[in-house]
Structure 1
């Protein structure tokens, strides 16, 4: 059984909702992936937007999260309470991910969930489904991660949501290469791949309703007259990681020539370094002397909305592998702006002929950049160097870009028509109220596939023998003279120098925020052994009401510090 990817593609019919329990998912939650206050980047911005959309629009009896610990759990509960206070919240530890039941899917905000597939194998592959989502596809970690995922115990009822058709094509191509390699090297029949449905990222369209007053105020602040034309770019302003501005400046200069309106470009966003600032700002006078250039740093949603409200068109001239979807044009469409964008990756799924103008792109062939990829993979070149070299041989049609800008500059009717179409398209296809039901329909179908599988064909793996993470003392059993024998007996040797509690405190294990056992457990074990003089771990465990493994760990520490020893067995 396989999911029909067209069933969840961009222009599908209204998603069919299944049982809310079966269509629910437990969110793999760590604030680093969802909190833009930790540093603005596309992954966090998309993660934050998704999580808020999920909480607001998810049809579910409870909102479930999987976290590493209590602090992350509190952050998740607080977020849900702020957005939907009447929705029950349940937080489970990743250490026991199977506790998400009856929820049958884990949602992981990234494509590389091999680690979670290995974790699941402790309970068998049919324990639950795992669904990831693509973001940037061009990093070494993501590309190698696809290989790790394919060789991990992923299952047919898992999925990687591809945010565009171009991303699905790229991931499918890499999986073809991976499967061909595995077949050549090992032979045999390969297991089914995870599903690769296409579901775009979403936005909250209501957040992008234009604010004419703030737009007019920003124009006044920048010295832009009300009658002037303004093009806007919202992006991370990096020539390495987003777009080369110089061809854009050439296009804007061509568009301005002979026009009876002044043209301005607002660059909204932050420069990652002084080099980027120099490339964007110090070159404009030479490339577009008749176009005004203004930089507005990112300062929160209100400032971004002011920039969108000040503009009459939106530019997204991406020529970079780092961008795989492009949420900014969708936001601009929601604000009623016509878009001039590169015909590049997922942008061609978001911007159609009614809402904007796509500028053709021409890229290098494989043989032009094979060595570039190998240098990056081998560590000779950095990610920035890799992206910059690929971008340098990726061309956007400057003339077509200029024509698109000129058409929008000179035709208020065209701007109004495209702006209206874009606003309707954003609401119909990209609002979270539309995207979340599509995701839940996918989760329901994954759950149905998983439930129909034969669990006997997907056995568990013993935790101590997990191939990628065996128990350390299974792997390193040959390191010590011996391992503690089951049934060993222990003798109390005394505490003449320091009491146990003082020695434990001086060692200060909690400085690392991890401790093998608590001071109370160690002290209680010491007292129990001292009272008896000689005892087995089983005897002490029965007396203390502790698990025997806990007692043995405490006894090993007491041996380490000379408080206890192994009772000699007569020859």
Structure 2
């Protein structure tokens, strides 16, 4: 790993950064849209994992998981995608075992909790690398405050997927640090690294399929000379875009071009209200335009939609969007784009591949009330997004002109599509993006190594001094009559002729229904058997460890469960 390198051009000079591997924090919710439901975060997570398995320079693939179920899911994904790679899984409560890796890749920008989790081993145990997705929720913004008050170190990183995301995070960190410095009369700690690295895609997954596109057009009744416009997105008026301005623009563009337009929407409605707005809005505002909703749960229709379209549209007016992965996928399929001049699309869509339609928000103070209502939970996140969307203007005249321009000029569509395809391959394919991430991990690993060598890291935080969640036995010490303190205490098995066997008691209590059993049944029964074997003189917890090879903490938990049900004393 240390011998691999990536040449990066900086101000015209070549510099070499080591390419480093990272352990991947894996929970199925962040990586499997098929199992957990399609949203941008999961689609991006699945794409990242596939791109990593295809292109990472790594001796082994390491996951950090909550438990064996997620570890098995991870191993199955690796086996399907890259069966030649060696896999190792580490449980979350033993995170230091990701060594010799020095970086943890975390699928969220909210790394504060992971910084605290790391503190058990010392802040230089490894570096953490998060990545931005949606940054508009109250919980996300609160997590940035928590990160700056957590033991976050300068070798940690939050990848910003766009300049807009970087600007937003920088602004909030300025506010947080100003407040910390003023309140505590000191200097705020160093910030994490915040490089701009885009989300990636596997371009080959979006290679145009003309036969599938033609079949879809035929199925929908879209004529050869008609202009098919496609949108691939979650169909939510609260958390994606307001479709009504687009419907108005399509109707006006169709009248001006003199050819029939069609709008193909591939996705799933976010809720019943969104369905009503889309369906009634289309019927009312663009009755002459073809309108087709394509089920987003049919995976093969995604590529068919992109293959059958003439133009890809992404008229986002919602702060839920941060990067905009769908336009990059459409570029890979060779489609010209009409997008809003909004967040990540300011970076991804230059003039040669598409048209960006101007957007405008009102003066900054106008939305202050909306922020206060979100923070106080008077308004939900969808309500917050809906209201900001209602105050965001998409230049309707410019949108009509863009539709007319591309709708009237097939040669321009072809040139933009070809340019987009080349740009997607050169800039956004994982073959181009992943080396940037590994170079960042290499930089982080070097910083961690330097911190260890020079003693810059913070020492480990013992469990009884852990501020975010104090040791439960310590935190709740005033609740019970007493807390067991004598390690030499002897325990005996009690007669239990009037009780069912421990397995039957466990069946009655059914801890498994909540997926939480303090210890495996086998350890509980083994502890009881060892107590019975010890006879009336009993046994200490250390004696039981020697007799059963069960860890000491587990023995204590088994003993207290047995005492709870009158099986031991």
TM-score, shorter chain, exceeding 0.5: yes
In structure 2, what is the Cα distance between the partners aligned to 1:393 and 1:323? 16
Q: 2:42 aligns to what?
A: 44
Q: CA deviation digits over 1:110-129, x for unaligned, max 9? A: 11122211110000010001
Q: Do the aligned residues in 2 keep the contact of 1:15 with 1:441 (CA within 8 Å)?
A: no
Secondary structure of the equivalent of 2:166? Answer: helix
CA distance in 1 between partners of 2:7 and 2:357 (Å): 27
Instruction: Measure the CA separation in 1 of the matches of 2:416 and 2:14.
Output: 27
The Cα shift of 1:499 comes to 6.3
CA distance in 2, matches of 1:202, 1:130: 20
Aligned with residue 33 of structure 1, among 24, 30, 33: 30
Which of the numbers 385, 388, 401 marks the counterpart of 1:387?
A: 385
Say whether residues 1:24 and 2:21 are aligned partners: yes
Of 540, 557, 561, the residue aligned with 1:536 is 540
- The reply on whether 1:171 has 2:169 as its aligned counterpart is yes
Q: Is the 8 A contact 2:7 2:17 kept in 1?
A: no
Deviation at 1:283, TM superposition (A): 2.1
What does 1:53-132 correspond to in 2, within 5 Å? Answer: 53-132=51-130
**Would the aligned equivalents of 1:30 and 1:72 in 2 still touch at CA under 8 Å?**
yes
Q: Which ranges in structure 1 are unaligned for 5 or more consecutive residues?
A: 1-6, 566-571
Moved more, 343-352 or 189-198: 189-198
CA contact (8 A) 1:490 1:564 kept: no
**What is the aligned-residue RMSD (CA, Å)?**
2.3
- In 2, distance between residues paired with 1:235 and 1:14? 40
Distance 1:509 1:414, change over 3 A: closer
> Residue 3 of structure 1 corresponds to which residue in structure 2?
none
**What is the deviation of 1:241?**
1.2
Cα separation, 2, equivalents of 1:88 and 1:111? 28
Q: Which residue of 2 aligns with 1:343?
A: 341
Q: Secondary structure at the match of 1:176?
A: helix
Aligned to 2:257, the other structure's residue is in SS state coil
- Decide whether the 8 Å contact of 1:361 with 1:395 is kept in 2: yes
User: 1:374 — aligned with what?
Assistant: 372
Q: Residues 205-284 of structure 1 correspond to what in structure 2 (within 5 A)?
A: 205-284=203-282
Aligned to 1:4: none
Q: State how many pairs are aligned.
A: 557
Q: Distance in 1 between matches of 2:286 and 2:520?
A: 67
Deviation string for 1:204-224 (max 9, x for gaps)?
Answer: 111111111211111111111
Correspondence for 2:462: 462
Larger displacement relative to structure 2 (476-485 or 384-393): 476-485
Deviation at 1:553, TM superposition (A): 3.1
SS state at 2:256 partner: coil
Q: In the TM superposition, what whole-angstrom CA distance separates every residue of 1:349-394 from its partner, at most 9, and x where no partner exists? A: 1000110111110112221111111112211111121111100110
Cα displacement string for residues 216-236 of structure 1 (whole angstroms, at most 9, x for unaligned residues) = 111111111101112211111
TM-aligned CA distance change 1:561 to 1:298, over 3 Å: closer
Other-structure match for 1:473 = 473
Once the two structures are superposed, the pairs formed by residues 303-342 of structure 1 within 5 Å of their partners are: 303-342=301-340
1:365 corresponds in structure 2 to 363
Name structure 2 gaps, 5 residues minimum: 1-5
The offset of 1:516, in angstroms, is 2.6
CA contact (8 A) 1:8 1:199 kept: no
Deviation at 1:56, TM superposition (A): 0.6
2:187 is aligned, of 186, 189, 194, to 189
What secondary structure is seen at the aligned counterpart in 2 of 1:283? helix
